[in-house]
Structure formats: structure tokens, C-alpha cells
Amino acid sequence: MASVLVVDDNAVNRDLVVTLLGYRGHHVIEAADGAEALATARAEHPDLVITDLLMPVIDGYELIREIRADPTLAATPVIFYTANYIHAEVAPIAAALGVHHIVEKPIDPRDLLLAVDDALAHPGATPSAPPETFREEHLRAVSTKLLGKVQELEDTQDELGRSEARFRSLAEFAPVGIFSASGADQVTYANPQMREIFGLPDGGAEAVDWSSLVHPEDRDRWTDAALSAMEQRRSHGDRIRLVRPDGAQRWVEIQISPVIDGADQATFVGTVQDVTSMIEAQREREEMAHLLQIAERLDSVGQLAAGVAHDFNNLLAVIVNYTHFVSKGLEEAGRVYPDARWAQLREDADAIRGAADRAAELTHRLLVFGSRDVAHPELVDVNEVVRGALELLERTIGEHVQLEHDYDEELRPVMSDPGQLEQVLVNLVANGRDAVGAGGTVAIRTDNLDLDEQTAAMHVGLQPGSYVRVTVTDDGAGMTPETVARAFEPFYTTKPTGQGTGLGLATVYGIVTRLGGSVSIYSEPGRGTSMRVYLPAAQASTTAVASAAPAESAAVASGAGEVILVSEDDDQIRAITARILTENGYSVIAVGRGADALAVLKYDSTRVDLLLSDVIMPQMSGPELADRAALARPTLPVLFMSGYADGLFTPGKVTAPGVDLLEKPFTQVSLLTAVSRALVPSSS
């Protein structure tokens, strides 16, 4: 920002220059004549002087001669700003005074600003003052010749010149498009901002077919309405779309108004404002409101599933186990009383059991859908999960996509819920499949990775240590940096409406980060995408306790008289549980409330070998019962059972040792397996 002294006896001319310099941020000092300007210059020492030539008291030539004679001001650059001399007349005198820039009135804003920039950047050498006789004689002659003419012309032309100059300067720097027109598509003037909005280069506005730039769907409406407004000499406004020559589309608000001259002829002036960002912001708000409604509906479904799950799973547990009792009884009856009808009845019971199993699976899926399932972390061989996921995907991904894999056979195990890890892989591969199209390739690679402090710092959320890396790469179209930045946002998708929810990568991110890992994207347009998942490798001490879950048909060890304290508020579940345990060698104390269970423990806690409690019970929840039981007997093993834990069961929340969860509906095998494991924690 420079300090500029503007000298002109005409206030309107002076104000115009001040306005233009203000756009550039310069500090402007004004003076109405040469004498005032000289005093101001000596006091303020400006960086630049812009002066008119013909002024009262001291004119422009005398002012500059005095400035050049002052050692403190002699090097100050000067611009002559004149309306009454042709360049050939002014140039010799200007050169003698060391003035290298002459701007003629009426002002062209660009010429003046260019002259200001050049004068400040290249002040030039300071000349000596010209001879006195040359200066005085020349100035007297010129002043006598021009003074009268200047007065006459200023009276008749300055008003129009000032108005036009002011309009042009303001229009050229206006933040909105400004134009004048003689018809709906006959533009006679367009300022730079309007040409920028329409995507047109500088040039004659009249040579442009403006109506062709209006979106075809808006063109007839706009043209008809604009012509009607012009015929009726009234204002008109509308919001329309433009299609720029580069193909980009913009929304604009356009206004036109009539201007009637003295001959009763009408022309039109107008403004154009680019409102594309506002329209897009409004659409984003509407989209977010829509997504919020979807999220609320999803949450409502999840809440509904959770509310139904507890009681429904209790009912299913009753159906599953009583069907088992019936089937077992029919088998025994068939051995005692041979009859083909027993076999048919057993098939009927098995059909009921199969339907109950499918209902239980449906309930579990609803809980997963509503993010209300309980994770079951265990030691996982990631290679086996990948192989299983690929077997599933090869049947659904389509023949047009080639799946490739590269396994590190020395891959470390990780601690994860296998189902959730499979969901991560399925989502990533499905995302790659959608990106490649016909003939594309999706490749999966697994390997071990050790990160020190320096390399861990390159991955958000990771600490130094050992990791398993799963990389899913596709050779599709790739993503822009903007898309990569938003890829993990819930509900963000680049797929067409109806072809994606935008939850896939968000789910991947949530699962991986909950496991203490990280997921990153490497992608460039035209070069495909690489998704890299980093999972903490299981500690060596963890691998020693890894074991596979027993199959449903596997033999389960019976009890040896161990006392099981069962706390379950549902009468039928309590009866089924007690029956199964009793028939398999356990002693059972069954109560319907947590308070009753505490009373048993208070009477004699040493006789109880295991507390088996429902999670959700009236008055006292299962975890609360376990906490209180631990006060009476800190080493008492605890086994929870629930069809829906409602967030009450989380790993590490209950302080009693040996805590585990048996999901309802349970079978005889799963109940006995869980009890056996809880009684001998070291084997689990």
C-alpha cells in the first residue's frame, strides 16, 4: 500500500481517482490546487503524486518544478492527469520535469492503475529543474491559450464524462455482472464480472450470442419474459441456469430495468449475480436433512429390533429347547414303541426347530443392522477370513470382475469379531467391484508390518508396534482428492441415487478404529484406488489361549454336582435352564430376582460354583448383581445370558472374574458349553 497525493481543482475528478486507488488499498491524500499540494507534499512526503495541469494558484507544471527543486521530494514519481493537452504537447515538458506517465481525461481506469503500478515500481532518475525562461514563457503561453477553452468544455462535457467514467470504473470493478442491452439477447456492454460468470473472454459484448448460453430448459422462458418486459418498459427478474462454453453449469439471478432517454427511447441495464454456491449449499442442506431422516428411520428400526429382541429371543429359546425335549422324547418313544408315526413327528419337531433357528438368525441380523449386537472378539486368522469372504463374493460379484489374492502365509493373528472383520472385507471388495466396471480387477493382499515411532506417526491413530495389513486394490477410475477427503463420511456416496447408501466405508472405518487399527485411501483419478487396513497383531500371550468354538454336534462334558445359581426373571427360561443343567449333572438353585440371588450368596456363598444371570431384569440388572456378588465372593465365576444386552454388557465393565455372555436363544449344547467354559476359565 502506497501513499498517493491526488491534486485536482475539480472535486468530481479528484473523487474518481480516489475511488479507483481505494480499490487497490492505497492511502490517498487530496489537494485542490498546486499550492495546497506543495505544502502537503512537504509535510507528508507521498510515494506518488498524481496532478492535473491547469489549476489555480499554482498549476501542475509549477508544482512539479517546486517538487524537483526540493531535495527531500525530488525523487518522487509523478503522473500528469490532463484533459486539455494532446500527448505531443505535454510530453516534452513532462520529460524535462522527469515525469514519465501521462494519463488523459476522460479516464480509463485500467490505464490509470497501470500507470500507478509502473510509476511506483520504476520511479526513474531525478532530473534537474529546466531553465526558468523556458518554463515561464511556455506555461504563460499555454495557459492563455487553453484557459478559456477548458472552462467552456468543462461546463458542457464534464458532467457527462464524469458520469460515464464513474459508471465505467464502478462497473469494471463491481463484484456482480453489469450489462446494458437493446434486446433480450442484444448486449451492448458487459463488465468483466459478467464475462467471467458466462465464461467468456474479454472482447466485444455485441458479438456474443448471449441467449445461446442460457440452459435450454430455461431459454424460452427467459427470452419471452425479457422481451415482454422490454416491450412494456418495466423491470424483470428471474433465476436461470447458464451453460458456459467449457460445459460448466451455473445458477444466476438476473435483473433488467429500462432507461428512458430524452428522445423517449428505451435501453436496458441489468445485473447478473452468480448464486451457484448458494443453490448448492441449499441442496446440501436439503440432502443432509434427507439423510438425517434416513438415519432417524434406521435408528428407529434399530430401536424397534432391540426392543423386540429381548422378549422375542426368550420366546425362541423356549421354542428351541422344548422342541429339543419333544424330539428327544419322540426318539425314546420310537425305541420303546416302534411306529413309523414317531419318525414323522420327529421330522415335524425338527421343522419347528429349523424355523426357530431361522427366526433367531433374523433377530441377530436386525441387531447387527441397528448396531446393537454384542461383538465377540477372538483370535482370528485374517487369511481364513479373506478366503471365506472371497468364496461368498465370487458367487455374487459377477464374472465381469477378476478377483486376485496374495496371502502372507506367515500372517500374524488378530483379535477381532470374525463376522465384523468379514463385513470389512466384503464392503471393501464390493466398493472396488463397483469402481472397476467390466473387465476390471480387484486384488487383495495380506502382509505383516512393524511400525516404529517414525513410521507409526505417518498413520493416523496408530501406535508403534506389530500390525497386519490388508490391502484391497482396484484398477478403476480412481477418486479425486475431494472425494477421498469425504469417503468415510456416513451417507456420502458418488454412486447414482438408489445404488448406494454411503454406509459401506463408514462401517469399515468404525469397525477398524474400534479394533485399534486404521484405514487409509490412496487414489488418483484414472489410476485406481488402494484401501489399506491396519489391524493390531495379537500379543504372543493371547495366542496361547486361542481355541475354536465347539460345533453344535460336539460332545459336551456333563457336570459333577457343581452348584449353579440361576437368576432369570422369565419363568419358562428359568425352568428350561434348570432342567438342562439338572439333567446333565449339575445342582441348580433357580431364582427370579437379583435380590433373591444375593440372599442365597449371603447365606452361603461358598456352596455356589457359578452365577448364571440374565442381563436385563427388573429392579436389578445382571451386571449390577455381578458387582454385588463380587463383594461377597470376589472369585465367583459369572456367566451372563441375554437376547439383547442393551449396552449393559461391555467387555471390562463387570468386575467379577470369568465373565462371559451366552446369547439367547441358546441350545442345550451352547448352554452346557458356556457353563463348562465358565467353570474352568483357564480352558476358554
Model-wide pTM > 0.95 = no
**Confidence at residue 587, expressed as pLDDT on a 0 to 100 scale:** 93
**Confidence at residue 141, expressed as pLDDT on a 0 to 100 scale:** 41
CA–CA dist 598, 630 (Å, integer): 10
**Confidence at residue 363, expressed as pLDDT on a 0 to 100 scale:** 65
Which residue ranges of the chain lie beneath pLDDT 50? 129, 133-134, 137, 141, 144-145, 291, 294, 369-370, 497-498, 501, 542-554, 650-658, 682-684
**Angle between helices 418-436 and 382-394 in degrees, nearest 10:** 50
H/E run at residue 590: strand 587-591
CB 46 within 8 A of CB 68: no
H/E run at residue 250: strand 249-260
Cell digits for 129?
Answer: 529543474
Torsion, CA 614, CA 615, CA 619, CA 620, rounded to 10:
100
Burial (CB count <10 Å: 0-12, 13-18, 19+), residue 472: buried
Give the 3-state secondary structure of residue 239: strand
**Confidence at residue 670, expressed as pLDDT on a 0 to 100 scale:** 85
> Quick one: the chain helix, strand, coil %, rounded to 5?
50, 20, 30
Cβ contacts of 400 within 8 Å, gap of 6 or more: 437, 438, 439, 440
pLDDT in tens, 662-683: 888 888 888 998 898 888 754 3
CB 577 within 8 A of CB 566: yes
CB 256 within 8 A of CB 235: yes
pLDDT in tens, 113-125: 999 999 988 876 5
CA–CA dist 112, 278 (Å, integer): 36
H/E run at residue 438: none
Cα angle 373, 379, 380 (rounded to 5 degrees) comes to: 85
Cα angle 666, 358, 333 (rounded to 5 degrees) comes to: 65
CB 386 within 8 A of CB 470: yes
